Structure 1
Amino acid sequence: MSGSEPQTTGADASALEVARIQRRTVWVLSAGQVLGGLAFGATISLGAVLAAAVSGDDAFSGLATAAVTLGTALVAVPLAALSRHFGRRRALATGMAIALVGVVLVVVAVGLGSFPLLLAAFLLVGAGQAANLQSRFAAVDLATDASRGRDLSIVVWATTIGAVLGPNLTGPGEVLGDALRMPPLTGPYLFTVGAQVLGILLYLIALRPDPLLTAQRVVADRAEAKVAGAIVKPDRPITARYAIFAVAAAHGVMVSVMAMTPVHLIHHGADLTIVGFTLSLHILGMYLLAPVFGIMSDHLGRVQTILIGQGLLVAALLTASFGQESTLAVTIGLVLLGLGWSASTVAGSALLTEASSETMRTRRQGFSDFVMSIVAAAGAILAGIVLGWIGYGGLALVVGIAVVLVVGLSPLARGPRPAAVTG
């Protein structure tokens, strides 16, 4: 493992001690999510603009987001492997450090006018998003079945603060960038750099003891001591696969519709202010009620909450499809879309964690993030084709196929409700 990690074994690994470490872990991860969301929000908000400016062609503007998404997918599995061997602390800090290099290269690429370098830089930026995604799994390394959904959802909720603040730093960043004679439109990345550096330091200094390494030691100590009731949980691969599918499907549905909404609204006369307001409400829907869905999944059950999420997605798709001519209806649809994504992602991630044995858990978590990111990239690309073929309303109905599959396959994953006490 790591010789520098504080040891938490034997008597120190009592239930009370583990609970104390878990509370501290959730708070540290939440702070990290605020910084990560701040950095990522400031980066993505200008990505398309920079891609168009450096390439000289608006047709290439979408490649910035595509590069970030691809980078997230490519880093997800290696980052999970790094966690497995060296702990969450080093993995999360490494992901943010790679993203920090990417952000610096974005500024360099704009200064040099190099589009290939810009895409490579955004590819590295994707590592920061991979770290943000892995944070939700780090939040449940030491959680009990009774609190797993709640703890995970608190960390997801913390993303709201950074995601909302990040894009709003564009104006002040430009003023600061002009004062420092930075390339045009790169000033806001100063805030990104600052947030990334603070995030790295936070994880390296404050995420101690490491939650994953502590969890591994607790399991090993209890097994060795044959603690009463310390039964190794069985691996449930079918349930785990269903959880991966449910999370990826919800993410694909959300990204496909959300990515095409600005285009649809603009074509129907909406201005950029309305588009920005609609997307802001959508983001709030994604994160604001995450704790509600986390608590719901702890008490009602993971699969039941996933199905509630699918119900919200159905309501969103029907509202967006049949109300496509109304800006208000589309906005309501986007809010419902965010809520459905939130319920499905929170409950699905908790289900994946508790359905996987300790030896398989981090592997599947990394694979889940990989699949999630690949589906998002494919969904964004294919959504444009479908939009041009059968319109926005047709797109909303087509992606509903994924919802039908998640609901139809749910009996495969059904099991007992989360227990109030774990051994």
Structure 2
Amino acid sequence: MSKSSIKQEEIINSYIESPDKQRKLYRRTLVTVIFSQIFGGAGLAAGVTVGALLAQDMLGTDDFTGVPTALFTLGSAVAALLVGRISQKHGRRFGLGLGFITGGIGAIGVIIAAVLNSIWLLLPALLVYGAGTATNLQARYAGTDLANSKQRATAASMAMVFTTIGAVAGPNLVNVTGEFAVSMGIPSLGGPFILAAAAYILAGIILLIFLRPDPLLIANALAVRSVGARQYTDNQLGQPLERRGVILGASVMILTQIVMVAIMTMTPVHMKHHGHGLGDVGLVIGFHIGSMYLPSLITGILVDKIGRKIMAVASGVTLLTSGVVAALAPADSMVMLIVALSLLGLGWNFGLISGTALIVDSTTPTNRAKVQGSVDVLIALAGASGGALSGMVVAHSSYAALSFTGSILSLLLIPIMFWPYNRGSNLNNQG
């Protein structure tokens, strides 16, 4: 065993023996994740705000304007799997840190593609950029590693709520970053990706430097020490109760992701067709992303207090309302578009935090990061599908038809949540 391994084991053992040190590490982990998420949110917002518009400019058609969202979401699927595996083996610090830095490199590739007007460079760059999206989502799990069962949703929400600062600032800086880009000889739509590159790389550096000792490694050691290694094997996931919880949590997050990504992706294009400028688009998307993250702390408390399933059903009802409002909103009404996209973000927020809590409840430290990464792959693929199909639906039908379709899909959350009840599952005590 190397000296560094021996030293790491000594550090881990010192935390196992000290509940006070564990509490302090829990708080320090949350602070570190919070700072990384402020920058991560800014990086995330760039692709959401102008990705579809950049592709529209390059391709000259609306049919494939959903492709950028599909690509960076597909890239996030691959990254989610890799980040989860790396985190399980080496800890959250390396998994999340490398994931954010990779996303920053992808954003640099998008900037170069914009300068060269190269769609063939844009496509792979967006795939790599997607690593930041996956990492931004997986960071929410880091806060739960040392949380008890009554703190898990709240801990996940703490990471998410501070994403709001960067995520809301990003879309509302599209004009400023666009002007900065033009001054450097870069097309204005490449501006937000300059912000994304810097933000993602900074987020990664923060995690690599400050997320130590690693909370997942400490949690794993605590679990093995307190309960016994025999009970903490990957086979535990094979038990019906845990598997059902994973399926429920994944189903909630997959459905909310499809609906949210599909409607969100086409809203900027819909607005542009009806005379809205980039400032208007940035305002609407800013409200949307703010609603995705800002309510997180309250949502986390509600999920912990009144139950995972009740909040998942609330997610379906909120997304249903959002789709109806978006479909019926006059295209020139900024107020109605803001209401629709805010409800869309809020419904996604309810679904993500309740689903996250279900996943954490159903896993153990020795399989948690791996399972979380695998579930996030499915979420990302669902988002990629929603993004890719949304452009085709709008091109051959209408934005209203897309919004109504999203409303119908969101209703599926209600029967899914009642599925365990019909089988007498013990998950009933989770909400």
Q: TM-score, normalised by structure 2?
A: 0.85
For the residue of structure 1 that corresponds to 2:364, the secondary structure is: coil
Find the partner of 2:414 among 394, 400, 407.
407
**Are 2:15 and 1:8 aligned?**
no
| Pair 1:346-2:353 in alignment | yes
2:112 is the alignment partner of 1:105: no
The more displaced of 377-386 and 48-57 is 48-57
CA shift at 1:363, angstroms?
2.6
Contact 1:248/1:372 (<8 A) preserved = yes
Q: 1:236 aligns to what SS in structure 2?
A: helix
Distance 1:280 1:171, change over 3 A: closer
For the residue of structure 1 that corresponds to 2:412, the secondary structure is helix
* 1:118 and 2:125 correspond: no
Q: Is 1:192 aligned to 2:196, yes or no?
A: yes
Q: Give the drift of 1:200.
A: 2.1
Q: Give deviations 1:348-391, integer Å, cap 9, x for gaps.
A: 11111111234442232112211111111211232334335553
- Check whether the contact 1:299–1:417 (CA below 8 A) recurs between aligned residues: no
Which residue is 1:138 aligned to? 142
**Aligned: 1:311 with 2:313:** no
1:363 aligns to what?
A: 370
Cα offset for 1:50? 4.3
- Provide closer, same or farther for how the CA distance between residues 191 and 406 of structure 1 changes in structure 2, counting only shifts above 3 A: closer
Question: Paired residue for 2:51?
Answer: 47
Consecutive unaligned residues of structure 2, counting only runs of 5 or more, are: 231-235, 422-426
1:95–1:131 CA contact under 8 A, matched in 2? yes
Taking the aligned partners of 1:198 and 1:173, their CA distance within structure 2 comes to 18
Matched, 1:223 2:227: yes
Which deviates more from structure 2 when the two are superposed, residues 388-397 or residues 313-322? 388-397
1:239 equivalent among 245, 266, 270: 245
Instruction: Establish whether residue 290 from structure 1 lines up as the match of residue 296 from structure 2.
Output: yes
Instruction: Return 5+ residue gaps in structure 1 as ranges.
Output: 227-231
Q: CA deviation at 1:188?
A: 5.1
SS of corresponding position for 1:305: helix
| Alpha-carbon contact 1:145-1:418 (below 8 Å) kept | no
Question: 1:336 is matched with which residue?
Answer: 343
Q: Which amino acid aligns with 1:68?
A: F
Aligned with residue 380 of structure 1, among 373, 378, 387 = 387
Counterpart of 2:157 (choices 153, 161, 165) is 153
Q: State the alpha-carbon separation in 2 of the partners of residues 258 and 160 from structure 1.
A: 17
Contact 1:300 1:417 in 2 (8 A): no
1 CA distance for matches of 2:279 and 2:181?
24
In the alignment, is residue 35 of structure 1 matched against residue 42 of structure 2? no
Q: Which moved more, 1:140-149 or 1:1-10?
A: 1-10
Contact 2:150 2:304 survives alignment (8 Å): yes
Q: Where do 1:89-104 residues align within 5 Å?
A: 89-104=93-108
Cα 1:16–1:305 change in 2 (3 A) is: farther
Partners in 2 of 1:326 and 1:190 — Cα distance? 30
Contact 1:251/1:376 (<8 A) preserved: yes
SS at match of 2:212: coil
Distance 1:56 1:347 in 2: 40
Q: Distance in 2 between matches of 1:60 and 1:321?
A: 21
* C-alpha distance in structure 1 between counterparts of 2:191 and 2:411, whole Å: 45
2:69 is the counterpart of 1:65: yes
TM-score (norm. length: structure 1)? 0.86
Q: Distance in 2 between matches of 1:391 and 1:63?
A: 17
Q: Which amino acid aligns with 2:324?
A: L
Change (3 A) 1:370 1:324: farther
Q: CA deviation at 1:315?
A: 2.2
Partner of residue 260, structure 1: 266
Identity level (%): 32
CA distance in 2, matches of 1:66, 1:103: 15
Q: CA deviation at 1:316?
A: 2.0
Cα distance per residue 1:373-421 (max 9 Å; x no partner)? 11112112323343355534433332233323221021234625469xx
Q: Give the 3 Å change call, closer, same or farther, for CA 297–264 of structure 1 in structure 2.
A: same
Of 199, 202, 206, 1:202 maps to 206
Q: Spell out, residue by residue over 1:131-189, the C-alpha distance to the aligned partner (whole angstroms, 9 max, x if none).
A: 1111011121111111111110111111111112223444444555566x454444554
- CA RMSD after TM alignment: 3.1
Q: Deviations over 1:95-121 (max 9, x none)?
A: 122123223333333444433222212
Question: Residue 49 of structure 2 contacts residue 285 of structure 2 at CA under 8 Å; is this kept in 1?
Answer: no
CA distance in 2, matches of 1:250, 1:384: 18
Alignment: residue pair count = 414
Question: Retained in 2: the 8 A contact 1:238–1:412?
Answer: no
Deviations 1:202-222 (A, max 9, x none): 111110111111111111111
Distance change >3 Å, CA 359–CA 8, structure 1 → 2: closer
Which stretch of the first structure deviates more once superposed, 202-211 or 41-50? 41-50
How many Å apart are 1:42 and its aligned residue? Answer: 3.7
How far off its partner does 1:250 sit? 0.9
Aligned partners of 1:145 and 1:354 also within 8 Å: yes
Q: Distance in 1 between matches of 2:134 and 2:36?
A: 13
Higher mean C-alpha displacement, 358-367 vs 75-84: 358-367
